[in-house]
Amino acid sequence: MERWRARFFSIWTGQTLSSIGSVAGQFALVWWITERTGSATVLATASLVAMAPSVLLRPFVGVLVDRLNRKRVMMISDTFIALVSLWLAYLFWIGAMEVWHVYVVMLARSFGGAFHHTATMASMTLIVPRKHYARIEGLNQMIDGGLSVLGPMLGAFLLLVLPLHGIMVLDFVTAAFAVVPLFFFAIPQPEAIDGETEAGKKPRFWEDFRAGLRYTLAWRGLLALSGLLIVLNFALSPAFSLTPILVLNAFGGDEVMLGSFNAAMGLGTVVGGLILGIWGGSRRKILATLGAVVGMGGSVFIIAFAPANLFYVGIVGFFLSGGSMALGNGNLRAVFRGVVHPSMQGRVGALMGSLATAMNPIGLMIAGPVADAIGVRSWFLICGSILVVGGLVGFGMRSLRNIEAEAEARRASHAGTEEGDVPPETAAPG
Residue 427 within a domain: no
* Whether residue 261 sits in one domain with residue 359: yes
Q: Is the pLDDT of residue 148 over 70?
A: yes
Q: Is the pLDDT of residue 70 over 70?
A: yes
Q: Which residues contact 182 (CB under 8 A, 6 or more apart)?
A: 11, 14, 71, 74, 75, 78
Residue 420 within a domain: no
pLDDT digits (tens, 9 = 90+) for 20-49: 988 888 888 888 887 888 776 777 677 778
At 414 the pLDDT is 67
Residue type, 409: A
What percentage of the chain exceeds 90 in pLDDT? 56
Under the banding of pLDDT at 50, 70 and 90, the label for residue 270 is: very high
* Whether residue 182 sits in one domain with residue 53: yes
Residue 69 within a domain: yes
Quote the CA–CA distance of 388 and 404 in Å, as a whole number.
Answer: 22
Residue 259 within a domain: yes
Q: Is the pLDDT of residue 69 over 90?
A: yes
What percentage of the chain exceeds 70 in pLDDT? 92
At 406 the pLDDT is 92
Question: Domain end: 136, 167, 186, which one?
Answer: 186
DSSP code of residue 2: -
pLDDT digits (tens, 9 = 90+) for 103-117: 898 899 989 999 999
Q: Is the pLDDT of residue 85 over 60?
A: yes
The whole-chain average pLDDT of the chain stands at: 87
- DSSP calls for 318-359: HHHHHHHHHHHHHHHHHHHHHHS-GGGHHHHHHHHHHHHHHH
Q: What is the dihedral of CA 249, 255, 258, 262, to 10 degrees?
A: 160
At 194 the pLDDT is 52
* Whether residue 222 sits in one domain with residue 162: no
At 182 the pLDDT is 93
* Whether residue 164 sits in one domain with residue 229: no
Range 310-324 average pLDDT: 95
pTM: 0.85
Under the banding of pLDDT at 50, 70 and 90, the label for residue 320 is: very high
DSSP code of residue 410: H
* Whether residue 181 sits in one domain with residue 114: yes
Under the banding of pLDDT at 50, 70 and 90, the label for residue 55 is: confident
> Within its chain, how far is the Cα of 41 from the centroid?
25
> Within its chain, how far is the Cα of 254 from the centroid?
29
The answer to whether the beta carbons of residues 428 and 186 sit under 8 Å apart is: yes
* Of the candidates 213, 25, 183, the residue with the CA atom closest to the CA atom of residue 102: 25
Quote the CA–CA distance of 203 and 224 in Å, as a whole number.
Answer: 28
pLDDT digits (tens, 9 = 90+) for 280-297: 988 899 999 999 999 999
Question: Domain end: 186, 202, 227, which one?
Answer: 186
* Whether residue 302 sits in one domain with residue 159: no
Quote the CA–CA distance of 342 and 169 in Å, as a whole number.
Answer: 36
CATH code (residue 46) = 1.20.1250.20
Under the banding of pLDDT at 50, 70 and 90, the label for residue 424 is: very low
* Whether residue 242 sits in one domain with residue 166: no
* Whether residue 256 sits in one domain with residue 157: no
The answer to whether the beta carbons of residues 59 and 186 sit under 8 Å apart is: no
Residue 377 within a domain: yes
User: Of the ranges 171-175, 289-293, 388-392, which one carries the lowest mean pLDDT score?
Assistant: 171-175
At 30 the pLDDT is 82
User: Of the ranges 140-144, 255-259, 290-294, which one carries the lowest mean pLDDT score?
Assistant: 255-259
At 2 the pLDDT is 65
DSSP code of residue 233: H
Q: Higher pLDDT residue, 130 or 422? A: 130
* Whether residue 246 sits in one domain with residue 162: no
Range 12-42 burial, b when 16+ CB lie within 10 A, else e: bebbbbbbbbbbbbbbbbbebbeeeeeeeeb
Domain of 26 in residue numbering reads as 1-186
Q: What is the dihedral of CA 222, 228, 230, 232, to 10 degrees?
A: -150
H/E element holding 125? Answer: helix 99-127
Residue 45 within a domain: yes
Residue 169 within a domain: yes
> Within its chain, how far is the Cα of 410 from the centroid?
27
Residue 274 within a domain: yes
Count of CB atoms situated within 10 Å of the CB of 309? 9
Domain count, the chain: 2
Under the banding of pLDDT at 50, 70 and 90, the label for residue 390 is: very high
H/E element holding 81? Answer: helix 70-94
Question: Domain end: 142, 164, 186, which one?
Answer: 186
Q: Is the pLDDT of residue 416 over 80?
A: no
* Whether residue 259 sits in one domain with residue 182: no
Burial of 370 (0-12, 13-18, 19+ CB in 10 A): middle
What angle do the packed helices 99-127 and 345-374 form, to 10 degrees? 130
Count of CB atoms situated within 10 Å of the CB of 197? 11
At 193 the pLDDT is 65
* Whether residue 257 sits in one domain with residue 387: yes
* Whether residue 79 sits in one domain with residue 166: yes
User: Of the ranges 123-137, 265-279, 385-399, 406-420, which one carries the lowest mean pLDDT score?
Assistant: 406-420
